[in-house]
Amino acid sequence: MIVAGVMSGTSADGINVALVRIGDGRARSATSASDLRGRAAHADTVTGASKIKLLGHATYSYPAKVRAAILAAMNAERARVADMARLNFLLGELYADAVRATERKFRVKADLVGCHGQTLYHQGELQPFLGKKIAATWQTGEAAVISARVGVPVVSDFRPADMAAGGKGAPLVPYLDYLLFRDSKIGRIVQNIGGIANLTAIPARAAADNIVAFDTGPGNMVIDAATEMLFGRPFDRDGNIAASGAVLEPVLQRLLRQKFFRTKPPKTAGREEFGRGFVREFLRLCGSAHKQDVVATATAMTVQSIADAVRRFVIPRRGPNRKNIFREMIVSGGGARNTTLMKMLAESLAPLGIRVRLTDEFGLPSEAKEAVAFAALAFETWNRRPSNIPSATGAKQPAVLGKISYA
Ligand SMILES: Nc1ncnc2c1ncn2[C@@H]1O[C@H](COP(=O)(O)OP(=O)(O)O)[C@@H](O)[C@H]1O
Ligand SMILES: [Mg+2]
């Protein structure tokens, strides 16, 4: 079946659509080199999609006004409920437009859509609220609108089922990471650098419940905010600004002392942790430093927080089995296009014996990975199979993720 995966992350930069062919032949194996590698998994929690082939992908930037409205809606103190209700339907239209444009571009018709939606709020931890302890999440983008416009069923709202099962609702992409990147000989860390950065560590020959996955902290979020405020540009293209600056070491060390970085996984982050408030404090610490140095420091914070996470929470878990040594980090997300960040990352991980690669080398373009993941997750849901990975989210049991809107 052909599934369109639709992803829009915390960067609120736009919409990524991936059209994939997913087969269910557990006994079959990949037939051509262009097939993304994926085989029937052995563990209980990863049972489904045995063969995933990317047919095409495209990215659509949000119009500036829409981006501003999304960022305003994320600002919990000021958001108005009428605007949020409207935004939900507007995003449904934009997601449908994006899917249809991608279908036309590649002359492929989807049979099913898996849409993550735009996260407006995520609180993965239980907290007291009006007499009960609850965790809460909210992804917007009306799936009924998408299914009406595209004419096929839509799976949406993937996170609540995991949270109802006691999980943090994130990360969900490890399902795809495990399917595509596990290896019989080497341990691999699959690292996405979106607005937030998150990793999936897969020891050699691991079962699905042996993987570790968590958010490492900010990805591009703080870099984007600093670039916007100091240079009036939405992001540091290719890392050119950071390359022309010097890292402010005392500021960097101060930032890395944040409690989030020391907290043990599972853990998730969002604009709640690394949004406005954090950036304001960061800029205050930078004082009157050169503007380029501020961007370089934000970039170094992303890199060092990833390297620290690997050192603290990934390497110690490999146990006595020397075969489980992590040798590769496979990077995806918009941050993979930031040359300065990637160079710093390679330098930080080399002493740990870890080589940095891109998902592109495996036939999966960096910007398409999460969209492919939501196509794969939708396929599992369509087949009534669970696709959360309890060891990654902290859920007590596997859960069938999402809700289905029928066309
Ligand atoms: N050429 C580039 N150079 C530097 N950074 C880039 C480039 N292209 C994309 N990015 C960064 O990637 C971000 C978007 O990444 P993405 O993976 O879509 O994140 P999210 O999932 O949070 O939306 C942009 O905000 C920008 O910071
Ligand atoms: Mg994005």
CA of 299 to the centre of ligand 1 (A): 13
- Measured by CA distance, the residue closest to atom 21 of ligand 1 is 9
Instruction: Say if strands 154-156 and 112-115 run parallel, antiparallel, or are unpaired.
Output: parallel
Mean pLDDT of 22-44: 44
CA of 211 to the centre of ligand 2 (A): 25
Instruction: Determine which of 2-16, 142-156, 235-249, 308-322 has the lowest per-residue pLDDT on average.
Output: 308-322
Q: What pLDDT was estimated at residue 45?
A: 36
- pLDDT, tens digit (0-9, with 9 covering 90-100), for 257-268: 999 999 999 898
Q: Which residues are found with C-beta within 5 Å of the ion, ligand 2?
A: 9, 11, 13
CA of 192 to the centre of ligand 1 (A): 11
- pLDDT, tens digit (0-9, with 9 covering 90-100), for 365-405: 999 999 999 999 999 999 999 999 999 999 999 999 999 99
CB within 6 Å of ligand 1 — which residues? 9-11, 13, 194-195, 220, 224, 235-239, 333-335, 337-338, 370
- Measured by CA distance, the residue closest to atom 11 of ligand 1 is 334
Yes or no: say if 164 and 395 are a contact pair by the CB < 8 Å rule. Answer: no
* Residue 34 pLDDT class (50, 70, 90 cuts): very low
Q: What pLDDT was estimated at residue 210?
A: 87
- Distance in angstroms (rounded) separating the CA atoms of residues 352 and 339: 21
CA of 330 to the centre of ligand 1 (A): 16
* Ligand located closest to 237 CA: 1
Percent with pLDDT over 90 in the chain: 84
Q: Identify which of 6, 7, 10, 11 to mutate to test ligand 1's pocket (most ligand atoms within 8 A of the CB).
A: 11
- Distance in angstroms (rounded) separating the CA atoms of residues 23 and 386: 17
**Closest ligand 1 atom to 223 CA:** 27
Q: What pLDDT was estimated at residue 323?
A: 54
Query: What DSSP character marks residue 368?
Result: G
- pLDDT, tens digit (0-9, with 9 covering 90-100), for 49-106: 458 999 999 999 999 999 999 999 987 678 889 999 999 999 999 999 999 999 999 9
Torsion sign across C-alpha atoms 200, 206, 208, 209: negative
Peptide bond preceding 128: is omega within 30 degrees of 0, i.e. cis?
Answer: no
Q: What are phi and psi of 157, to 5 degrees?
A: 55, 60
CA of 387 to the centre of ligand 1 (A): 26
Query: What DSSP character marks residue 315?
Result: G
Yes or no: say if 58 and 17 are a contact pair by the CB < 8 Å rule. Answer: yes
CA of 321 to the centre of ligand 1 (A): 37
C-alpha Rg value of the chain to the nearest Å: 20
The residue among 92, 402, 54 whose CA lies nearest residue 100 is 92
Q: What pLDDT was estimated at residue 266?
A: 87
Instruction: Determine which of 72-86, 139-153, 165-179, 316-330 has the lowest per-residue pLDDT on average.
Output: 316-330
- Distance in angstroms (rounded) separating the CA atoms of residues 182 and 178: 5
- Distance in angstroms (rounded) separating the CA atoms of residues 82 and 42: 47
pLDDT over 70 at 347, yes or no: yes
Burial (CB count within 10 angstroms: exposed 0-12, middle 13-18, buried 19+), residue 190: buried
pLDDT over 60 at 41, yes or no: no
CA of 61 to the centre of ligand 2 (A): 8
CA of 89 to the centre of ligand 2 (A): 19
Residue 362: helix, strand or coil by DSSP?
helix
- Distance in angstroms (rounded) separating the CA atoms of residues 303 and 77: 31
- Measured by CA distance, the residue closest to atom 23 of ligand 1 is 9
- Measured by CA distance, the residue closest to atom 14 of ligand 1 is 334
CA of 220 to the centre of ligand 2 (A): 10
Q: What pLDDT was estimated at residue 9?
A: 94
- Distance in angstroms (rounded) separating the CA atoms of residues 321 and 224: 40
Q: Identify which of 220, 237, 369 to mutate to test ligand 1's pocket (most ligand atoms within 8 A of the CB).
A: 220
* Tokens describing residue 172: 């969900």
Torsion sign across C-alpha atoms 43, 45, 46, 48: positive
* Ligand located closest to 235 CA: 1
The residue among 117, 130, 120 whose CA lies nearest residue 77 is 120
* Ligand located closest to 332 CA: 1
* Ligand located closest to 198 CA: 1
Q: Identify which of 7, 13, 372 to mutate to test ligand 1's pocket (most ligand atoms within 8 A of the CB).
A: 13
* Residue 325 pLDDT class (50, 70, 90 cuts): confident
Q: What pLDDT was estimated at residue 206?
A: 86
CA of 382 to the centre of ligand 2 (A): 25
CB-side exposure of 195: number of CA atoms within 13 Å? 21
Q: Identify which of 61, 235, 238 to mutate to test ligand 1's pocket (most ligand atoms within 8 A of the CB).
A: 235
CB-side exposure of 210: number of CA atoms within 13 Å? 16
Yes or no: say if 355 and 328 are a contact pair by the CB < 8 Å rule. Answer: yes
- Distance in angstroms (rounded) separating the CA atoms of residues 156 and 147: 10
The residue among 82, 166, 175, 84 whose CA lies nearest residue 121 is 84
**Closest ligand 1 atom to 224 CA:** 27
pTM: 0.90
